[in-house]
């Protein structure tokens, strides 16, 4: 076939050897199922801590290993979504604290790419859409951090009660935070 050297390289995929592994326990299957459901939301949420993606991927693995331990010990299964985000939140906070001790570490700073916007509109609409999105994201970045977390958790589908538990604040604080953030976003859209 004449494959070149790069084609002959293959990423080490653990999936290939999955068939050789022993049968999985129901809790393992449950954790993997929750991982499939919440992998992307948890990664997106932890990226709001401005951590490098490599750190975030690693932390996400640890979150689900902790979940396995939690379930295996027979602890509460009530609101596992909230539990996952609470552990993710605390892990990301801790990692960021560690990263700040190494100030030369690369820190992710999100930049909106035009290529990432919806490709369906024409060039001018795309430009306008991109500018509007940039304006909204700029407003979000200017919010106090707690408000950013609140908004990010709501965007990932958490109810107010769950957000209050993740951030350890009152229900009223969540409502007030979201009201403040959305009011600012609406003003930015009208501008």
Partner 1 sequence: MQNKSVHLSDKELILAADGELSAHRRAGVNKHLETCWSCRERMRSLETTITDFVRARNAELNRLVPPAAGPRALLRARLSQAAAVPPHSSFWQFPLPAARAVQLTAGAVFVGIVLVILTVFESTMSAEGPKPRLGITPGEARLITLEEVCSYQRAEVVSRDIPNDMRQKVFAAYGIKPAQADQFEVDYLITPDLGGTESIRNLWPQPYSARWNAHVKDKLEQRLHELVCGHQLDLKTAQRDIAVDWIGAYKKYVGENTAH
Work out the number of other CB atoms within 10 angstroms of the CB of residue 60.
Answer: 22
CB of 177 closer than 8 Å to CB of 146: yes
HSE-up (13 A, CA, CB side) for residue 156: 27
Angle (deg, nearest 10), helices 145-155 and 171-190: 90
Residue whose CB is less far from partner 1, 57 or 168: 57
Which own/partner pairs from 77-83 qualify as long-range (CB within 8 Å, at least 24 positions apart)? 79/162, 79/165, 80/34, 81/38, 81/157, 81/158, 81/162, 82/158, 82/162, 82/165, 82/166
Of 132, 185, 130, 128, residue with least CA distance to 154: 185
Helix (H/G/I), strand (E/B), else coil: 117: coil
- Enumerate residues 40-59 that contact partner 1 by CB under 8 A: 40, 43-44, 47, 53-59
> Which span (76-84, 85-93, 106-114, 120-128) binds partner 1, by CB under 8 A?
106-114
Is 25 among the residues that bind partner 1 (CB under 8 A)?
yes
91, 117, 162, 166: which one binds partner 1 (CB under 8 A): 117
Asked if residue 170 binds partner 1 (CB under 8 A), the reply is: no
- Which of 1, 4, 21, 191 touches partner 1 (CB under 8 A)? 21
Q: Is 31 in the site for partner 1 (CB under 8 A)?
A: yes
DSSP state of 114: G
Q: Which of 49, 60, 84, 92 binds partner 1 (CB under 8 A)?
A: 60
**Is 126 an interacting residue with respect to partner 1 (CB under 8 A)?**
no
Stretch that binds partner 1, among 84-92, 105-113, 120-128 (CB under 8 A): 105-113
Choices 12-20, 81-89, 120-128 (CB under 8 A): range interacting with partner 1: 12-20
As measured in angstroms, the least distance from the Cβ of 129 to partner 1 is 9
From the list 8-16, 77-85, 86-94, 120-128, the region that binds partner 1 by CB under 8 A is: 8-16
């Amino acid at each position: 076939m004449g494959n070149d050297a790069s084609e002959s390289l293959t990423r080490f995929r653990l999936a290939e050897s999955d068939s050789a592994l022993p049968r999985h326990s129901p809790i393992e299957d449950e954790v993997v199922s929750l991982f499939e459901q919440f992998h992307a939301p948890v990664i997106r949420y932890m990226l709001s801590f401005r951590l490098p993606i490599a750190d975030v991927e690693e932390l996400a693995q640890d979150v689900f290993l902790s979940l396995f331990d939690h379930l295996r010990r027979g602890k509460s299964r009530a609101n596992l979504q909230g539990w996952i985000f609470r552990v993710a939140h605390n892990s990301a906070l801790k990692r960021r604290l560690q990263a700040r001790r190494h100030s030369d570490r690369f820190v992710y700073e999100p930049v909106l790419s035009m290529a990432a916007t919806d490709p369906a509109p024409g060039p001018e609409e795309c430009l306008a859409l991109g500018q509007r999105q940039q304006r909204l994201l700029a407003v979000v970045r200017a919010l106090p951090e707690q408000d950013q977390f609140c908004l990010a958790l709501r965007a990932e589908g958490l109810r107010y009660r769950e957000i209050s538990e993740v951030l350890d604040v009152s229900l009223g604080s969540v409502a007030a935070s979201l009201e403040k953030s959305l009011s600012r976003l609406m003003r930015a859209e009208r501008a």
